[in-house]
Chain A
């Protein structure tokens, strides 16, 4: 049976081995204290690596040859990445322009495809396309799949402008579109003439719209003295409109045409420059007939039948 009373172990007590003195030497002690100094630790852990890195960078930077080699290497890697097929632009697609303008845009872009998309300056390309007279606005973007997509909004010719140097097409804002010789408009356009006509295009278009009841008889408008319009008819008098409120004056003339067929009369010009007083100039024949009637040699009345 095991003894029930717990007895203390009374075997031989091993003699403790005499330990050497664990005291640190003065040098060790000081070194440890130095290492435990927070400032010293910070210097060693932060200051020293930073200094080493700065020193290495400086040493590297002082050698021109090494710096150039590094720069070349970086450029080469960059070139390699840029030349990858993922970044290459192969095709140019121009939308929203007529074939002639498309060719013009293509010429203006002057791209040597294929080209890396890193080398394309989209802003400059857009400026170059918008510098074309036939282009109102353009947007240039790089689409997926190697496309350079150019969306062009063309200028629409609204008027034919006859000047001393030539006949050109201008749009509704007065901008030059093309020379008439280069581009034949699809539909017949009204004609304007005179210096400064392109500066008052919207007024001209309004007058032409007002003159629509005259139909084909309107030949065009002439800008006079850069301030007022003349309406020129194919067969009939020239209507001189005032600088201010020309539309009202034209409407008055058209009203007279409706009532008295004034434009079918023997007149050279109808002068509305003073809107409150209309003046007409008769043809020489009509003037002669009038003088004969006034002298009684010809009876007055509508005897023409």
Chain B
């Protein structure tokens, strides 16, 4: 656990350094596109508050550079070909730097794939004094019994979600309360360590320093759920190109995240296979004529399929729009049903509010909200990311909700496990730090 503390704290330190310098880049590595925003932090005196601050945490920074590039070498939201991805990151970062007219050295990255796994932990500790202090919170966090994460898995988020003191529960910040037993519920998100290693390698090859790492469903939820939804309970489904990730929020904390390894690219490949056309052509037809609800009008709308195989009859086929919808719809239904299964597994139906927000590039499919409300329940809406200062119009769509959420995350990161001090008994025995810590705690 100490290793985790060190690496995460090193990233926090780099984030602080980037804040001092005033410029940081956020990078959303998706399967379809890689988006990079360059943020300038100039008003650092905005009151941080607890949780989400003034203006929903979006004040205090400004987007000065934005660039998007077609993703290469990323599959299912994880890096597949390192060299290709590195080149794609370079393209995005260079274009964003050029627009911002400044150089960025620190980057905060969101990852969609890498098989996230959520754990709910709880810990309990007896208070030493009658009042809850910072050290008590650290102790109760350290008292959480961590399950076996499995080989080659790394903790990405470890956020205290709920504190309870004696018989009172639902405390957001127990400091200063009087009681005797403090217990905490914590949400732990782990991903494959290999994905992080690969990402670090890519970022280093681009002469950048990693100042933070976030899960894409988490940041997409931050930007596309409104405050009430985050408070009362909602699920955010980020439908990307290679993966559909979902996160469940309640009381402004993420309590669950998961990924379905299917996305818009699978719909495209279905079209390509079903209609026997090349992938780029299938992508264009999907974005231009695609849909999931067929109407009578669609039978009469004929789409010409063009290919260059040399076979005259093959190259001059036509297809009606309803046929296209017939190809797309099963796959979209499959994705949504898989998502439903994940939500059910997480116990989403037990939440007081069951709002579901669809966002991400694949949620732009016409008629998706109607189909989704049949499968996921009737409280479905399409979400767009929050508006942040300086964001260009081209980056305001739902495809950029993870990117915008990452910017909000960069401005106001949530307290995580490693943001609290390590309790003294967690240090190795006979350590000088432990002695110093013991002195500081007791005098």
Whether the pair A15, B207 counts as a contact (CB closer than 8 A) is no
Nearest to B205 among chain A residues (CB) is A26
B205 CB to nearest A CB, Å = 8
Q: A interface, by DSSP: helix, strand, loop or mixed? A: loop
B411 CB to nearest A CB, Å = 23
Whether the pair A32, B278 counts as a contact (CB closer than 8 A) is no
Q: When A13-B285, A16-B280 are in contact, do A36 and B304 touch as well, CB less than 8 Å?
A: no
The reply to whether the CB of A10 lies closer than 8 angstroms to some CB of chain B is yes
CB-defined contacts of A8 to chain B, threshold 8 Å: 289, 301
Whether the pair A11, B304 counts as a contact (CB closer than 8 A) is yes
B395-424 CB contacts (< 8 Å) to partner A: none
Whether the pair B284, A23 counts as a contact (CB closer than 8 A) is no
CB-defined contacts of B246 to chain A, threshold 8 Å: none
Contact of A29 among B69, B90, B101, B303 (CB under 8 A): B90
Whether the pair B87, A23 counts as a contact (CB closer than 8 A) is yes
Nearest to B97 among chain A residues (CB) is A36
Cα distance, A248 to B278, chains bound together (Å):
139
B120 CB to nearest A CB, Å = 42
Whether the pair A21, B87 counts as a contact (CB closer than 8 A) is yes
Q: When A11-B304, A15-B281, A33-B103 are in contact, do A23 and B90 touch as well, CB less than 8 Å?
A: yes
A21 CB to nearest B CB, Å = 6
Q: When A22-B91, A23-B90, A29-B90 are in contact, do A13 and B288 touch as well, CB less than 8 Å?
A: yes
The reply to whether the CB of B146 lies closer than 8 angstroms to some CB of chain A is no
Q: Report the contact-size class of chain B (Cβ under 8 Å from the partner).
A: 20 to 34
CB-defined contacts of A30 to chain B, threshold 8 Å: 207
Contact of B90 among A14, A16, A24 (CB under 8 A): A24
Q: When A21-B87, A22-B91, A24-B94 are in contact, do A10 and B303 touch as well, CB less than 8 Å?
A: yes
Cα distance, A13 to B280, chains bound together (Å):
11
Contact of A13 among B72, B88, B281, B302 (CB under 8 A): B281
Nearest to A23 among chain B residues (CB) is B87
A165 CB to nearest B CB, Å = 94
Contact of B94 among A10, A12, A29 (CB under 8 A): A29
B102-118 CB contacts (< 8 Å) to partner A: 102-103
The reply to whether the CB of A38 lies closer than 8 angstroms to some CB of chain B is yes
Whether the pair A21, B72 counts as a contact (CB closer than 8 A) is yes
Interface 0/1 of B256-281, CB less than 8 Å to A:
00000000000000000000001011
Interface 0/1 of B194-224, CB less than 8 Å to A:
0000000000001100000000000000000
Residue of A11, A15, A28 most packed against chain B (CB within 10 A):
A15
Q: When A10-B301, A13-B285 are in contact, do A23 and B88 touch as well, CB less than 8 Å?
A: yes
The reply to whether the CB of B43 lies closer than 8 angstroms to some CB of chain A is no
The reply to whether the CB of B337 lies closer than 8 angstroms to some CB of chain A is no
CB-defined contacts of B304 to chain A, threshold 8 Å: 10-13
Q: Which residues of A contact B (CB under 8 A)?
A: 7-8, 10-16, 18, 21-24, 26, 28-30, 32-33, 36-38
Q: Which residues of B contact A (CB under 8 A)?
A: 69, 72, 87-88, 90-91, 93-94, 97-98, 101-103, 206-207, 278, 280-281, 284-285, 288-289, 301-304, 306, 308
Q: A13-B304, A15-B308 are in contact. List 4 more A-B contacts (CB 8 A).
A: A13-B303, A13-B306, A23-B87, A29-B93
Q: Which 6 A-B pairs have the closest CB atoms?
A: A23-B87, A36-B103, A12-B304, A23-B91, A12-B306, A29-B90
